Amino acid sequence: MIFDLKRYAIHDGPGIRVNVFFKGCSLRCLWCHNPEGVSKDPELMVMPNRCAHCGDCVRACSYQALSQAENGGIVADRSKCTLCGDCVKACQREAIQIVGREVSVEEMVKEIEKDRIFFEQSGGGVTLTGGEPLFQPEFAEALIDSLHMKGIQVALDTSGYAPAETFLRLTKKSDLVLFDLKMMDGDEHKKYTGASNEIILKNLKALDDLGIPVWVRVPLIPGVNDDGKNLEKLADFLLELQSVKMINILPYHRGGVEKFRRLGRDKDFKVYEPPSQEKVDSVINFFKQKGFKVKQGG
């Protein structure tokens, strides 16, 4: 189950890449910028800015899951929706979509191979991201194996929140691991993500013994994890690891806000102030002074 396949990606690993976005995640980060990747199931997404207020989708729905508001917009009762897709077919402006589709390994490899020339010329490859690829470990592993048989490199983008056996089995097969590390205090981590970071830190330490290059990605969320105490603990922890080749600072942005509103899930997430560029630069300089190779973005 995936929710997107993005070609010509240049931010999630080296070179030009194809990003495969897996659906499903065990964490519930309040700042999530891909909220459509949290649930393991397909979801109805309504985009008011595209709506023509024609009512075609309402008339097409046999389950009365859609209605028109006084302003002409669409109101979705997702408890009645069966994701049959009739409303999607009726909408000529693609204002309603079903996010999430089942794919096979063979289908994905066939699509990805179309970009082989870009991988070879740029040193790129495929990045498995999401959501959380380790939420669907059998599919992720089969896809990695099939891509390697085609000579295509694979990066695994993960939060590290997975059973150790699953985590190590898949990271061993990856050419690069993009490891999201949010904060060091376990209670704070649980407060903002819904889970402790104990497994995450243990997995990152275990990964260090495999000799696989790791890029640690730190989402910078003002008022959550940008304080000096957290950054000092994070740096101290990473200085003990030999596999960390780079730190990517990922400033919070509001790209996920409109998406969780389109999904009707405003209550599940929060809106934060993006950090100033001055703050981002100071965090980058902090890690550089600790001896790390650092860049903004991933």
Convert the pLDDT of each residue in 236-275 to its tens digit. Answer: 999 999 999 999 999 999 999 999 999 999 999 999 999 9
Q: Which helix (H) or strand (E) holds 201?
A: helix 198-208
Cα 38 from Cα 223, distance rounded (Å): 23
How much is the pLDDT for 11?
A: 87
How much is the pLDDT for 58?
A: 95
Mean pLDDT, the chain, rounded, equals 96
How much is the pLDDT for 24?
A: 98
State yes or no: pLDDT of 71 exceeds 90. Answer: no
Cα 257 from Cα 293, distance rounded (Å): 31
How much is the pLDDT for 236?
A: 97
Q: Which helix (H) or strand (E) holds 94?
A: none
By mean pLDDT, which of 34-38, 71-75, 146-150 is the weakest? 71-75
State yes or no: pLDDT of 298 exceeds 80. Answer: no
Arithmetic mean of pLDDT, 160-182: 97
Domains of the chain by range and CATH?
2-40+101-296 (3.20.20.70), 43-99 (3.30.70.20)
How much is the pLDDT for 72?
A: 79
How much is the pLDDT for 158?
A: 98
**Residue 182 is encoded by which pair of tokens?**
């949010």
How much is the pLDDT for 12?
A: 92
pLDDT tier, 37 (very low <50, low <70, confident <90, very high otherwise): very high
Sign of CA dihedral 239, 240, 244, 250: negative
Cα 213 from Cα 207, distance rounded (Å): 9
pLDDT tier, 69 (very low <50, low <70, confident <90, very high otherwise): confident
Long-range contacts: 264-269, Cβ < 8 Å, 24+? 264/44, 264/46, 264/76, 264/78, 265/35, 268/28, 268/35, 268/38, 269/30, 269/31, 269/32, 269/35
State yes or no: pLDDT of 116 exceeds 90. Answer: yes
Arithmetic mean of pLDDT, 96-104: 97
pLDDT tier, 86 (very low <50, low <70, confident <90, very high otherwise): very high
Cα 264 from Cα 236, distance rounded (Å): 40
- Judge residue 37's burial from the number of C-beta atoms within 10 Å of its C-beta, 0-12 exposed, 13-18 middle, 19 or more buried: buried
State yes or no: pLDDT of 70 exceeds 90. Answer: no
Angle between helices 137-149 and 164-172 (to 10 degrees): 10
How much is the pLDDT for 234?
A: 97
State yes or no: pLDDT of 74 exceeds 80. Answer: yes
Task: Give the angle subtended at the CA of 193 by the CAs of 173 and 268, to the nearest 5°.
Answer: 120
